[in-house]
Amino acid sequence: MLRKKNSKSGFSIERRGPVPSRRTIVVLGAPRGGTSLVAGSLRLAGIFMGDDTDPANNEDRAFNIHDGNLSTLTDAGPRRDFLASIRKTISHRNSTHAVWGWKDPIA
């Protein structure tokens, strides 16, 4: 919910209800749009962003299984395998971390 506030922008975000104890943060955006900066900032703030994170772009290699081959995301067979792998990783992370995140490796 947005509400008017006496601030420079004129608006602030107001949360209603309790903050969830379990959260997954997904960093999405256009290539060269600052996603590596956001993911790195989250990592430095203590958010678990992966076991095998590339320090150059803050991408968890567990989510970069397509290795830049976007047909993995569009062809039926490879897409099914890709999604199965991602679902397994997400399920594992949800069971081992209350708050964690990952950066879309295409961003």
**Coil, strand or helix at 32:** coil
pLDDT tens digit string along 18-51? 767 888 999 988 888 899 999 999 999 999 999 9
Q: How far is Cα of residue 105 from the mean position of the Cα atoms in its chain? A: 9
Tell me 65's DSSP state. Answer: T
Bridge partner list, 99: 23
pTM of the model: 0.71
Predicted confidence band of residue 85 (pLDDT cuts 50, 70, 90) = confident
- Tell me: the pLDDT tens digits for 66-84? 666 777 777 777 788 888 9
Strand 23-27 relative to strand 99-103, pairing: parallel
23 Cβ partners below 8 Å, 6+ apart?
98, 99
Please count the residues of the chain: 107
Distances (CA, A) of 79 to 18, 85, 92: 37, 10, 20
